[in-house]
C-alpha cells in the first residue's frame, strides 16, 4: 500500500511536474517564437534603416548630380551670353575699323565711295561668319575661309595703324593722296608678309634661374598658349612635341590656352601629347573657360597630362602648384593658402595670367610661370598690352621669387607675329 501510495503519490507528484513541464515546453516554444519574431523585427528594422540610408544616399547623389547639371547648364548659358555679347561688340567695332580703313584708303586712291560700305560689310562679316561655320559645320572650305579671314584681321590692324599715322602726318605736311595710298598698300603688304613668315618659326629660349633650396639641377620646358584649333592643328602639335623631346627635360609645364576654341573639339585630338617623354603638368587658361573646362578635361582624359586644378604635386624635390584661370584678380590670394605649400622646399606655380606675383611670393612660391600676353604678338599692339599688364615677357625678379612670362608657343587670331616670336622656353633651374 505504502508502495502503492508512494507510487501513487509519486505518480501524483509526477503528474503536476509533468503538467508543469508541458507548460514549460509551451513557454519555451512561445519564447523561441517571440525570440524569433523579435530577431526578425530587429533584422527588418536594420534592413529598413540600411534601406533608408541607401535611399538617402541615392537622393543626395541625385541632388548633387542635379546641382552639377544645373550648374553646368547655367555655365553653358552664361558662356553663350558672354559669346553673344562679345560677338556683337566685336562685330560692331570690327565694322567701324573696316569702314574707316576702306573709306580713307579708297579716298586716297580715288575709288568710288558708294562701294566703301559694301566692301567694309563684306570684310567685316568674313571673320565672324567663317568662325561660326568652322565651329559648327567644319569642312575644308570653312578652314580656308577662317585662315584667310584671320590673316585679313592682321592686315587690317597694320592698315589701320598706318592710315592713322598718315592722317596725323597730313596735319603738318602736304602729302600727295594717290602716292600715299599706294605707299601704304605696299608698306602694309611687306609688313604682313614678314609677319606671316615670322609666324612659321618656333624658337627655343634658354633661361637659367637660381632657386633657393633646390637640391639638384632640374631642366624644365614651358609651353604656353598653343591654341590648338583651326590654324594650329595636330601637325603643329606634333612639331612642338618633337622639339620638346629633343630638349631632354625632366618635366614639361603647360601654362594654359592649350585649346583655341575656333574649331570643335573631338576625342583623340590631343593624343599627340602622349608622345612627350617627360611628365607633363597642365593648368587652364582663359580659352579653356570659353570652351568649357569640363569639356576640355573630358577630352584631355585620354592623354597623360597631369591636370593641376587648384592643386599641387611633388616632383623630384619640387612642389608643382597649379591654379585655374579666373577673372578674379585675387585668385592666388584665395587659393594658394589652401594648398599646404611647404616653405622649406622649392615650389613652382603654374598660373596662366602674369599677375599675383606678390601673393605668390608671400605664399612660398619660388618661381611663377605664366603666359597669356603673347608679348603683344603684333607691333605696335604690344604697347597696348603693356598698358594692361605690368609683366609682359621674360624674367622678372621679386626677390626670393622669380616670374617668367612666356610670349606664347603659338598665336591667337591672325597667324602673324611682328616684334614678337613663338617660343618654347627651356628653364635650367640651379641650386642657389
Is residue 408 predicted with pLDDT exceeding 70? yes
* pLDDT attached to residue 87: 76
Average pLDDT over residues 121-141: 87
pLDDT tens column, 319-376: 999 999 998 888 999 999 999 999 999 999 999 999 999 999 999 999 999 999 999 9
Mean of per-residue pLDDT scores for the chain: 86
Average pLDDT over residues 6-21: 42
**Mean pLDDT lowest for which of 118-132, 167-181, 334-348, 366-380?**
118-132
Rg of the chain, C-alpha, whole Å? 36
pLDDT tens column, 19-58: 444 444 554 555 555 556 666 667 666 666 666 666 666 6
* pLDDT attached to residue 12: 41
- Give the whole-angstrom CA distance, residue 282 versus residue 155: 33
Indicate the burial class of 25 (C-beta count within 10 angstroms; 0-12, 13-18, 19 or more): exposed
pLDDT tens column, 289-318: 988 899 999 999 999 999 999 999 999 889
Confidence of residue 138 (pLDDT cuts 50, 70, 90): confident
More confident: 399 or 240: 240
Average pLDDT over residues 131-149: 89
Q: CB–CB of 372/257 below 8 Å? A: yes
* pLDDT attached to residue 14: 44
**Mean pLDDT lowest for which of 129-133, 161-165, 197-201, 216-220?**
129-133
Backbone angles phi, psi at 233, to 5 degrees: -120, -155
Confidence of residue 4 (pLDDT cuts 50, 70, 90): very low
Superfamily holding 203-431: Metallo-dependent phosphatases (3.60.21.10)
* pLDDT attached to residue 2: 41
pTM equals: 0.80
Q: CB–CB of 247/421 below 8 Å? A: no
Q: CB–CB of 409/423 below 8 Å? A: yes
Q: Where in the chain is the domain with CATH 3.60.21.10?
A: 203-431
Confidence of residue 197 (pLDDT cuts 50, 70, 90): very high
* pLDDT attached to residue 90: 82
CB neighbourhood size of 257 (10 A):
28
Average pLDDT over residues 140-151: 93
Is residue 401 predicted with pLDDT exceeding 60? yes
* pLDDT attached to residue 122: 86
**Mean pLDDT lowest for which of 27-41, 381-395, 404-418?**
27-41
Indicate the burial class of 221 (C-beta count within 10 angstroms; 0-12, 13-18, 19 or more): buried
Q: Quick one: residue 389, left, alpha or beta (phi over 0 = left, psi -120 to 50 = alpha)?
A: beta
Task: Give the pairing of strands 401-405 and 280-283.
Answer: unpaired
Amino acid at each position: 500500500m505504502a508502495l502503492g501510495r508512494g507510487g501513487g503519490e509519486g505518480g501524483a507528484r509526477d503528474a503536476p511536474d509533468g503538467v508543469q513541464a508541458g507548460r514549460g515546453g509551451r513557454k519555451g516554444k512561445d519564447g523561441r517564437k517571440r525570440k524569433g519574431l523579435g530577431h526578425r523585427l530587429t533584422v527588418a528594422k536594420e534592413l529598413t534603416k540600411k534601406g533608408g540610408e541607401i535611399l538617402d544616399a541615392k537622393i543626395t547623389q541625385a541632388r548633387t548630380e542635379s546641382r552639377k547639371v544645373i550648374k553646368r547648364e547655367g555655365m553653358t548659358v552664361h558662356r553663350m551670353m558672354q559669346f553673344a555679347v562679345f560677338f556683337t561688340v566685336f562685330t560692331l567695332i570690327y565694322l567701324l575699323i573696316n569702314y574707316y580703313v576702306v573709306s580713307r584708303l579708297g579716298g586716297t586712291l580715288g575709288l568710288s565711295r558708294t562701294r566703301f560700305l559694301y566692301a567694309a560689310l563684306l570684310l567685316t562679316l568674313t571673320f565672324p561668319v567663317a568662325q561660326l561655320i568652322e565651329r559648327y559645320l567644319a569642312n575644308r572650305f570653312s578652314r580656308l575661309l577662317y585662315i584667310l579671314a584671320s590673316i585679313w584681321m592682321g592686315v587690317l590692324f597694320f592698315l589701320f595703324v598706318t592710315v592713322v599715322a598718315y592722317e596725323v602726318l597730313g596735319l603738318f605736311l602736304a602729302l600727295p593722296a594717290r602716292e600715299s595710298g599706294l605707299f601704304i598698300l605696299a608698306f602694309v603688304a611687306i609688313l604682313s608678309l614678314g609677319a606671316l613668315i615670322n609666324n612659321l618659326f618656333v624658337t627655343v629660349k634658354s633661361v637659367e634661374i637660381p632657386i633657393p633650396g633646390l637640391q639638384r639641377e632640374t631642366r624644365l620646358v614651358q609651353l604656353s598658349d598653343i591654341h590648338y584649333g583651326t590654324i594650329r592643328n595636330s601637325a603643329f602639335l606634333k612639331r612642338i612635341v618633337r622639339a620638346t623631346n629633343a630638349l631632354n627635360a625632366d618635366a614639361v609645364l603647360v601654362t594654359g590656352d592649350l585649346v583655341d576654341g575656333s574649331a570643335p573639339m573631338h576625342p583623340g585630338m590631343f593624343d599627340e601629347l602622349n608622345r612627350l617623354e617627360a611628365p607633363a603638368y597642365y593648368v587652364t587658361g582663359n580659352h579653356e573657360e570659353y570652351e568649357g573646362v569640363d569639356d576640355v578635361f573630358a577630352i584631355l582624359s585620354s592623354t597623360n597630362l597631369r591636370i593641376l586644378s587648384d592643386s599641387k604635386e611633388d616632383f623630384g624635390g619640387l612642389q608643382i602648384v597649379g591654379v585655374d584661370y579666373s577673372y578674379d584678380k585675387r585668385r592666388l590670394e584665395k587659393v594658394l593658402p589652401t594648398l599646404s605649400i611647404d616653405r622649406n622646399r622649392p615650389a613652382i606655380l603654374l598660373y596662366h595670367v602674369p599677375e599675383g606675383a606678390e601673393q605668390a611670393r608671400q605664399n612660398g612660391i619660388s618661381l611663377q610661370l605664366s603666359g597669356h600676353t603673347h608679348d603683344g604678338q603684333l607691333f605696335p599692339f604690344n604697347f597696348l598690352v603693356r598698358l594692361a599688364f605690368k609683366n609682359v615677357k621674360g624674367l622678372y625678379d621679386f626677390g626670393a621669387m622669380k616670374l617668367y612670362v612666356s610670349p606664347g608657343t603659338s598665336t591667337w587670331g591672325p597667324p602673324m607675329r611682328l616684334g614678337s616670336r613663338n617660343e618654347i622656353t627651356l628653364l635650367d633651374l640651379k641650386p642657389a
